[in-house]
Structures are given as structure tokens and as C-alpha cells.
Structure 1
Amino acid sequence: MALADIGQQITLDVIMSAVFGIEDEAGATAAESAVRASMIRLLQLSTHPLATAVQLVNARSPEPRGVLRMILRPLDRAIYAVIAERRREGADGADGAGRSDILTVLMAARDDDGAPLPDSEIRDELLTLVLAGHETTSNSVAWTFERLTRNPGVYRRSVEAARSGDEAYIEALINESMRSRPVVPVVARELLSDWRFGPYVVERGVIALVSILLLHHREDLYPRPFAFDPERFLGVKPSPQKLMPFGGGTRRCLGAALAMAELRAVVTQILVRVDLAMTDAPAEQPRHRNVTMIPAHGGLVTALAKD
């Protein structure tokens, strides 16, 4: 089975609960279910070989056009339908109809003139939160077990840690997974002033790309950088300048704490509940989806029957 698919189901449930207040898919309205189905379809289509071409066509357009606009249309309809449902409930009032999800907060927000946010802006915020808030986490789960099933000693140690409640080792395991296979391999920053980098001077206004993947494999920072060794993080607080799976600086991922909480819970429960077969298959190659680096086969694992 592909752990990316399982991870996606779990993390999508979490983010749909936080963003839309949908605690149980069985209790979701038709519009809320349509948001979930359209989101999954969008992610599946984003791995199609033509997806990169579609993105390039839209690279300089402030609004989606062409094929991308057509693909997004069902998702937009579903999101606007959910917003309309909530307005009928009175979720845009001061009490938010008793709800505490992010959609309710956005609908109750007012600008400096006291006007509510337009539906289009609420849609943009919701789409960003849902996409950024679950896909990276689900693929981190997949990469973690892609690495573990190729490192039997680390896998056995991880199972022992999960079943004995050794949270420090699980944290180290997740950090090592994100170091070895960062889901977002590169970040970009527009320089607001001239910047000296060694013998080079880069002028303001330039957009500089920083490779998180290469940073995480510098031998002077991480001895034996291609070894999968969670113990390098035991008893060590990772430096934000050396370990950057969530980016860095003032634009570091706002959802980092939520992502880490999800990863600890999901990885621990898989280790506790399921025995996995080890494999001598080659490492899964990375496949790019939008700005993320995902396992080419979704983090394939084989579950064994419990004794």
C-alpha cells in the first residue's frame, strides 16, 4: 500500500476539521463533501505529466486560466457553496453560530472600514490553508516509512520507541526523515538589499533560491549525510539555520507546530499498530508536485499479519 494515500486521508481529515469544522465526514453536508472530493482530485491531477506545463502557462497570471481554471471550477463551486451555507446559519455574525473553525473566523472578520471579507478572498485563504496544511504532512509520513523500511536497525529501534513511549526518539526520527527527504526542497526569497555570499554580491530585487535539500546534505553540518540516522538528533535541539524543513526566517511555515503534532501522532500509531516488511528495493525517486517533493510510488510498504 502507498502510505502517501493513507497519510493524505488522515491529514485531510485534520485540516478539514480545523478549517471547516468538519469533525466527521459522515456528518458533512453535500457541499463540504464536495470540497474534500474536489481537493483530492486536484492533488491527483497535479502529478500528471502535463501539470508542469499548466503551471507554467499560469506562472505570470494573477488569476487561473485555461486548463487550470477548468480544473479549479468544481472546487471553487464547492467552497462557495459551503460559505453560502454558513451565511445562512449566521456564521458571519459575532458569535459565529457557535463555531470556532477558521472559516467562521474569516467570515466574522471585518476590515478597517467594518466591511466583511469578500467571498473570493475567503476562498483564497481557505484553499491555501487546506493545500498547505495537509499535503506536506502526508508526504512526510510516506518518506519516513520509505526510509524506515530500507533501514531495518532504525526500524526496530523506532518500533521499540513507539511502543515504550520514547517520544524523544520519535521526534529525532521525524527530524531525520525531514532532513533526509525534505518535502519542500527549495525556498525563494526576494532580496530587499544587496547581499554578499562569499565572494559574490547579489543585488537587491533578485529572487534567490535556497536549496533545503543541499543544505541538509552538507557533510560539514551532518557527518555521513546520506546515512539515515535519527540518533544524530537525540539530545540535540536542531538549529533553525541547519534544519529547515519548514523554511526559515519570518516566513517560516505557520503550520509547523500542527504538522509536527500530526507527524508524531501518525508515525507513532503506525509503528505501534502495524508490522512492516523490510525491502532491498532501490530508494523511491523523488517526484515533484507543485513545490513539493513526493515519493515516486507514494511510499510503498508491505504490512505483515500480526502474530
Structure 2
Amino acid sequence: MTLPPGPTAPRIVQGLYAWTKPQRGMRRLRERYGDAFAINVPIFGRAVVISDPAQIKQVFTTGTDVLDNIDRDLGRVLGPGSMFALRGENHQKQRKLLVPPFHGRRLVAYEKIIEEETVRELASWPENQPFPVLPSMMRITLNAILRAVFGAEGAEFDELRELLPKLVALGSKLAVMPFPQGKWGPWRKFWAMRREYDAIIERLIAKADDLDGRDDVLAMMLQSRYDDGSPMSHSDVADQLLTLLAAGHETTATTLAWAVERLRRHPSVLNDLVAEVDAGEKALREATILEVQRIRPVIDLVGRQVKADSMRLGPWTLPKGYTIIVSIALIHVNPAVFPNPRTFDPNRFLDKKPDFYQWIPFGGGTRRCLGAAFANMEMNVVLRTMLRDFTVLPTAEPGERWHSRGVANAPEQGGLAIVRRRVTSSQSPVQTSTAGAQP
């Protein structure tokens, strides 16, 4: 076997380095060893980190008989029926059932829900004083995904609104801890919340009727059938719903917080976006969303595991059981892929669609996030509504640092903002202060 070079320190030392310096540490390792390097860390074990576009494409296009999902994944907290836990044929069968509600005409139907939730939440925003937008974005995305998934309001939805933020926050931390599952400590608290969640879902399933007249994801799941005619089990429905609620809630909200954080430090882009909203257009806004996800990816890696006896990856030969970590954070700042990668520049995506082997905030291949189109549509609607109704004031403050929330990376201060409600849609887009563009 031939492996790329890498640090030789013990696993615990490498793990502490990765834990304390997650962003800077990976960049330093690439500077020292190149676009591929070997590491040995808790959770992943012996692994190869890659950030070369050709090698990433090879990983995303390799069959599941050679490369498949890593063993210790988010399925630990989302359940064995989750898309994150399933592998091979089972994963493809489940994915086939879940793709329809997040594409095409159904997305258009969800736009109204998202705008309603955004207007409702933004009505509580304070004016002329700093506040973090992340909590608001969390509430918007949670309420929107709950309505899209369940299609109605009621007691169970109020319970889920109370339970899910705590469940997702704890699960996100447990997922990246190198400790085994158990019934002690934080795991005990997590499993208690998970049982509460399962009971709520069981009640919703029992109450479900008139499925033909409903357009929500739960109704679709209960009506769907595998090729052999069998339905999804209730436990699989619960696992998949939790996956959709978790993946479609925290990551989207965090990206929106990063968008506010970036735009406040780039007043010219902010000016252009507001003018575009007033003109009823969207090209720059869509490009801005892509650029925020490039320069501030909420998830910084995806993993695969070698299932065959060995795998040839570029010039390297990896043995069975090795993990391949595709570094989203590193490929997104690779100057050979994105010129001036540290510069926030939505124009790079104005007339060019992203290459899904280079721009990979949603992962790639057969395991690419199936809610990607929904997430981008949701961010588009939230930003459009915010810029239509509020003036967001620029700042000369340095950019917010990265803060790990477990799985997701958020702005350290929650995306601090100062806003003023717009009196009319034709007023001056942004009060241009002396603030310049900040890195």
C-alpha cells in the first residue's frame, strides 16, 4: 500500500490538534504535505484527507462496492433508518422515495410557507441595536421545515418546536465525540429526548388521514411504496423525518447567519442586492448564496470508507477500512480552483454554475444532500424578504470567527446585525458608512 505523507504523532495528539485548530490546522497540514495527506484521529481512525478536484471527483463517482459511507456517521444520532446510516442498495431505495418532495413544483409550494415564517419572525427584530440573527434564522427554518414536512399546525407541532432545537443541538455534539454510544451521561439525556420525539411522530402517523388531499412530506412517506409494494416502517419514517428536520434546519439557518455576517462587511454587494430585490430580480442573490456556502461552509468535510480490499486514489493505494475525508473547507479555498479564494465575491457565480466536484457544501455523488435545492430556495426567500423589509447596516468590525456547534460551524457571535425597518421599497438601499470590505 502507498499512502500520502502526513504527521506521525500519536492518534490522541493529532486528535487534540484537530479539535483545537480545526480550520487553521487543516490548512497548515495542506501547506506542509500537499493536497493529500494521511492522518490518524479519533472517530475516523486512519484516514486520508483530500482537496484535489480530480481525486474528489473520483471519490464521488466510485461505486459503493468500493467506497461507501463511514461506519461512525450521523446515523448514530439520527437512527438506523436515516439516510446517513443506510448503505448500498438500501440507501438507494430510500433515496428514491425521498427525492420527489424536494424538487420541481413542490418547491414552489413551499416558498409561501417560508416567506410567511420569515415575515412573522422579522416582526420581532429590534431596530438600531446589535443582535445575533442566528436564533431568528433557527426559528424560521425550523417552523418552515415543520410545516413543509407535516403540512399543518397543532399540539404535536408545538411539542416538536420545543423539543427539536434541544435534540438537534445535543445530537450534533454527540455525533463528533469519540465516545461510544451508551445509556450514560449525555447519551442518556439524548435517548430520553429521542423517545419523546418517536412518541410524537407515532401520534402524528396515527392521526394522519385524507392523505390524497395533502402535499406534505409525511403524507408522501406514508403513501410511498418500495418496488416490492411494501411501505416504509414507522421507525424508518421517524428516522427519515428527524434527518430532514435536523439537516434542513440547523445548517440552513447557520448559512443564513453567515450570509448576514459577510454582507455587513461588503457594503457594495449589500447595496446591489437591495437594488436587485427592489427590481424584482434574483441573479445576484442566488450567486451570493453560492458564494457564502463556498467561503463559509457550515459542514467542512464528508467521509467515505474503503470497502474493497484496496482502492487506487490518484497516485495512492489505500487499504480496506481506510477513511477518505473530502475536505470541503480546503477545496473551497484552493486558489487553483477559485482565484482569490479568500475574497468574498458573488460575481464569480453570476454567469457560471458551480462545479459539483469543486463547490461541495452539500457533499457529492450518490450521497449528495437531497435537500440541496430546498435549502437554496429557502435561503433565497429569507434573504429576499429580509432585504425587502429591512435596511441592514454595514460594519467595519473584523469578520466573526468560526465557532463549532458540533457538526456545524457558525459565526462566533451568531451573525451580529443592526437593522432598520424600510419605510418603502424604493428608499435608499443601504446607508453606506465608511466601512470597507472585510475579509
TM interval, shorter chain, is 0.7 to 0.9
2:264 paired with 1:149:
yes
- Cα 1:75/1:274, change in 2 over 3 Å: farther
Q: Return the match for 1:257 from 373, 377, 381.
A: 373
TM-superposition CA deviations, 1:216-248 (whole Å, max 9, x none): 101111111101111111111111111111111
Tell me the equivalent position of 2:156.
31
193-202 or 109-118, larger mean C-alpha shift: 109-118
Q: Given that residues 400 and 413 in structure 2 are in contact (C-alpha distance below 8 angstroms), is that contact kept between their aligned partners in structure 1?
A: yes
Q: Which residue type is aligned with residue 346 of structure 2?
A: P
Q: Distance in 2 between matches of 1:66 and 1:107?
A: 35
Q: Which residue type is aligned with residue 254 of structure 1?
A: L
113-122 or 30-39, larger mean C-alpha shift: 113-122
2:303 paired with 1:303:
no
2:145 paired with 1:15:
yes
- Cα 1:111/1:245, change in 2 over 3 Å: closer
Percent identity (aligned): 36
SS of 2:317's equivalent in the other structure is strand
SS of 2:236's equivalent in the other structure is helix
Tell me the equivalent position of 1:104.
219
122-131 or 177-186, larger mean C-alpha shift: 122-131
TM-superposition CA deviations, 1:143-186 (whole Å, max 9, x none): 11111111112211222222222311111111111110011110
Q: Given that residues 137 and 259 in structure 1 are in contact (C-alpha distance below 8 angstroms), is that contact kept between their aligned partners in structure 2?
A: yes
Q: Which residue type is aligned with residue 77 of structure 1?
A: E
What is the Cα deviation at residue 33 of structure 1? Answer: 1.0
- Cα 1:79/1:166, change in 2 over 3 Å: same
SS of 1:210's equivalent in the other structure is strand
Tell me the equivalent position of 1:225.
341
Tell me the equivalent position of 2:179.
57
143-152 or 297-306, larger mean C-alpha shift: 297-306
TM-superposition CA deviations, 1:234-287 (whole Å, max 9, x none): 111111111111111111110011011111111111112111121122211112
Q: Given that residues 39 and 75 in structure 1 are in contact (C-alpha distance below 8 angstroms), is that contact kept between their aligned partners in structure 2?
A: no
Instruction: Give runs of aligned pairs for residues 277-296 of structure 1, distance below 5 A.
Output: 277-296=393-412
What is the Cα deviation at residue 118 of structure 1? Answer: 4.1
- Cα 1:102/1:75, change in 2 over 3 Å: same
Q: Distance in 2 between matches of 1:302 and 1:10?
A: 19
Instruction: Show structure 2 runs of 5+ residues with no match.
Output: 1-130, 424-439
Tell me the equivalent position of 1:200.
316
Instruction: Show structure 1 runs of 5+ residues with no match.
Output: 23-27
Tell me the equivalent position of 1:25.
none
SS of 1:201's equivalent in the other structure is strand
2:307 paired with 1:185:
no
Q: Given that residues 31 and 79 in structure 1 are in contact (C-alpha distance below 8 angstroms), is that contact kept between their aligned partners in structure 2?
A: no
225-234 or 277-286, larger mean C-alpha shift: 277-286
SS of 1:165's equivalent in the other structure is coil
Q: Distance in 2 between matches of 1:123 and 1:19?
A: 12
Residue-pair matches, total: 292
Q: Distance in 1 between matches of 2:292 and 2:270?
A: 12
Q: Given that residues 175 and 406 in structure 2 are in contact (C-alpha distance below 8 angstroms), is that contact kept between their aligned partners in structure 1?
A: no
Instruction: Give runs of aligned pairs for residues 83-94 of structure 1, distance below 5 A.
Output: 83-87=202-206, 89=207, 91=209
Q: Distance in 1 between matches of 2:378 and 2:185?
A: 36
Q: Given that residues 12 and 134 in structure 1 are in contact (C-alpha distance below 8 angstroms), is that contact kept between their aligned partners in structure 2?
A: yes
Q: Distance in 2 between matches of 1:136 and 1:288?
A: 12
Q: Given that residues 4 and 138 in structure 1 are in contact (C-alpha distance below 8 angstroms), is that contact kept between their aligned partners in structure 2?
A: yes
Q: Given that residues 54 and 67 in structure 1 are in contact (C-alpha distance below 8 angstroms), is that contact kept between their aligned partners in structure 2?
A: no
Q: Distance in 2 between matches of 1:158 and 1:236?
A: 18
What is the Cα deviation at residue 112 of structure 1? Answer: 7.7
TM-score (norm 1): 0.85
